[in-house]
Amino acid sequence: MCYCTVLLNRRLAKRCIIVDAKHIPNLISVFRILLVYPVNYLMLDRQFGPALGLFILAGLSDGLDGFLAKHYHWQSRLGSYLDPLADKLLLVSSFLTLTWMGLVPVWLTSTVVLRDVVILSGAIAYYFLLKPFEGQPHWTSKLNTFLQLLLVFSVLFSQGVRPLADNLLLALGNVVFITSLVSGAIYVRVWGSSYWRETHPQS
């Protein structure tokens, strides 16, 4: 085999490795989706310690795929859907399971789910009426997601590791309730303003 052929094969192999590496964040997101079932199964089985461990692992994987995507420029359209989908599946299912077990109040989970339904419905309506909505998540939405994660973590920690004060969990739940309402309302306002600008350019 001549030198040129060897060099060409090495370049092709290197290129294939680079292409494959770009899928790592998406694979991590898929892994996080696969964790949804065991986390909820362990909660229903009242194995809160192992459930907390997997929940922490899911959170760490979320940070890892975000870091890899941004640091190495491995962002993709598929990843822009998989990452938030994995987060929502884990959070919403956890809230529903904990509410079923009587550990999170119904009014709070209803608000969390309703917020996501409103945001998803708004995105779908905007897509069909105009075009895909292009914009970064509002900081209140990121704060709300963090607080939801913190609340689920706190409940699992309280049940599986060391009991936390009821007032602390109640206060955290109230903050999640408020940020859910505020962030949901902001999305509705942003979409409404954007729709008005697109349909009334001369106004």
Q: Give the length of the chain.
A: 203
pLDDT band at 136 (very low <50, low <70, confident <90, very high): low
User: What is the three-class DSSP state of 164?
Assistant: coil
Q: Does position 143 have pLDDT exceeding 90, yes or no? A: yes
In a domain, 75, yes or no: yes
22 within 8 A of 74, measured Cβ to Cβ: yes
Give domain status of residue 140, yes or no.
yes
- How many angstroms separate the Cα of 156 from the Cα of each of 29, 50, 54, 110, 164? 22, 9, 11, 19, 10
Q: Determine, yes or no, domain membership for 5.
A: no
| The pair of three-digit structure tokens given for residue 78, joined into one six-digit string | 């598929």
As given in the structure block, the two tokens for residue 44 are 């229903």
Please report whether residue 160 resides in a domain. yes
User: Is the confidence at residue 47, as pLDDT, over 90?
Assistant: yes
Asked whether residue 53 is domain-assigned, the answer is: yes
Q: Work out whether the CA dihedral 170, 172, 175, 177 comes out positive or negative.
A: negative
| Rounded distance between C-alpha atoms, residue 163 and residue 90, angstroms | 23
| pTM: predicted TM-score of the whole model, two decimal places | 0.82
The pLDDT of residue 21 is above 90: no
Q: What is the mean pLDDT of residues 123-149?
A: 76
Q: Is residue 162 one of the residues assigned to a domain? A: yes
Query: pLDDT band for position 13 (50/70/90)?
Result: very low
Distance CA 4, CA 51 (A): 54
Task: Average the pLDDT over 28-55 and give the result.
Answer: 94
- Give dist(CA 71, CA 74) in Å, integer: 8
Cα separation, 81 vs 101, in Å, equals: 30
Please count the structural domains in the chain. Answer: 1
Per the CB < 8 A criterion, the answer to whether 58 and 83 are in contact is: no
Which residue range forms the structural domain that includes residue 117? 18-198
Whether the Cβ atoms of residue 91 and residue 39 lie closer than 8 Å to each other = no
Query: What CATH number is given to the structural domain containing 99?
Result: 1.20.120.1760
Q: What is the 3-state secondary structure (H, E, C) of 18-51?
A: HHHHCCHHHHHHHHHHHCHHHHHHHHHCCCHHHH
Tell me if 9 is assigned to some domain. no
DSSP string, 157-175: HHHHT-PPPHHHHHHHHHH
Evaluate whether residue 12 is within a structural domain: no
Indicate the pLDDT class of residue 140, thresholds 50, 70 and 90: confident
What angle is formed at CA 57 by the lines to CA 55 and CA 63, rounded to 5 degrees? 110
What percent of the chain shows pLDDT beyond 90? 46
The pLDDT confidence band at residue 4, using thresholds 50, 70 and 90, is very low
The structure tokens listed for 55 are: 């929940």
CA-based nearest residue to 43, from 126, 147, 155, 185: 155
Residue 20 clears pLDDT 70, i.e. is over it: no
